[in-house]
Structure 1
């Protein structure tokens, strides 16, 4: 049988990272080509494409836990198995991860893009620790950008001061 787009080596309890246009969506593989994931309401910004999807993420305070076939969630996006915190935390037993994920299906949970998003949800299931490297990376990038702006402002102020001093020296000669 020829490989298909959805052939994968995922094992129950693995984290699936789905690369959307503007963000990464996360799900947990439970076997049988199914995943469990946390997703805010959809189509609230219909017609805006990826930007509308991003607005929905920032605008939502509640999300639903869903169990779906992997290809329904992935659609045409690229995805990979990414157990990115295995070097930091010991993964829980796969049967425990799957059992707890399945018990959460159809529940409505609090959602916050910074403190409790889909990545927090799946890392809590896999490791017993809620963490989002996506949020941490965004915070670092935001901090670097803010530092860059501060340096630019400081540089402009220093340059302006030097020019003023230079003009004053020329006027006093």
Structure 2
């Protein structure tokens, strides 16, 4: 039991260290790469400093949200939204997306690339400007005007995937021509480390036994107890 608890605490600590899949460099790696500090602007003064085509990052509680600045205090960004599936009324769709709309969009795998004001996009947070350019050194960004035009061409309803087609994929496609998400990569690395840790096999066996004790011996309880640990063992 102590073995399993140690495993859980270790993995939860790992998640908390990078703010739920947000990519961060250590100071040592940043110095080796010759990186300077992030360019951060208050959302109040940002419009005076931003340029059309800039890539914006806004830290959220569980993730980082991304958008492309279009000028005139407007930002194009991809966000899950169920409303385009339910109605064609543009006035309704243009309203600020509520949490309910966002969650339903995630579940239905529907999103929209929309243009909102900078204040609505930022939602009271600070802005990181073109910080991703340092991570994509091998891929030079397009000229800012081309970046903005690519973003504008994608405005409208679009399929959504939390891991494979999210707001970060949208901005990296617009700015670098290659849709990538380092938040997704970090999540996959974390998942791989959990699968390859042999303690996960022991933990899955323990949970399976508890499941059988609680719900009785039956195919629906026995098969998962056997197959899940076996799969983890082979994958590790």
* Structure 2 match to 1:87: 137
More helix per residue: 1 or 2?
2
> Using the alignment, how far apart are the partners of 1:14 and 1:4 within structure 2?
15
Matched, 1:16 2:53: no
Shift, 1:26, TM fit = 0.8
Count of aligned positions = 145
Ranges in structure 2 where 5+ consecutive residues have no aligned partner: 1-40, 82-96, 203-236
* Structure 1 match to 2:44: 6
Matched, 1:146 2:210: no
Aligned residue for 1:83, secondary structure, equals helix
* Structure 1 match to 2:76: 36
* Structure 2 match to 1:171: none
* Structure 2 match to 1:112: 161
Which is higher, the Rg of structure 1 or of structure 2? Answer: 1
* Structure 2 match to 1:45: 100
Shift, 1:25, TM fit = 1.0
Matched, 1:126 2:166: no
Shift, 1:6, TM fit = 2.6
Give yes or no for contact 2:194–2:200 (8 Å, CA) kept in 1.
no
> Using the alignment, how far apart are the partners of 1:76 and 1:56 within structure 2?
24
Give yes or no for contact 1:26–1:122 (8 Å, CA) kept in 2.
yes
Give yes or no for contact 1:57–1:113 (8 Å, CA) kept in 2.
no
Structure 1 residues 5 and 59: alpha-carbon distance in aligned structure 2, compared to 1, 3 A threshold:
same
Matched, 1:59 2:107: yes
TM-score, reference length from structure 1: 0.71
Give yes or no for contact 1:38–1:117 (8 Å, CA) kept in 2.
yes
Ranges in structure 1 where 5+ consecutive residues have no aligned partner: 47-52, 155-173
After TM superposition, which residue ranges in structure 1, 4 or more long, deviate above 3 angstroms? 42-46, 55-58, 151-154
> Using the alignment, how far apart are the partners of 1:56 and 1:143 within structure 2?
28
TM-score, reference length from structure 2: 0.54
Q: Which moved more, 1:4-13 or 1:116-125?
A: 4-13
Shift, 1:153, TM fit = 4.8
Deviation track 1:112-159 (CA, whole Å, cap 9, x = no partner) reads 0111101001100001100000100111112223333x24657xxxxx
> Using the alignment, how far apart are the partners of 2:55 and 2:195 within structure 1?
32
Shift, 1:83, TM fit = 2.5
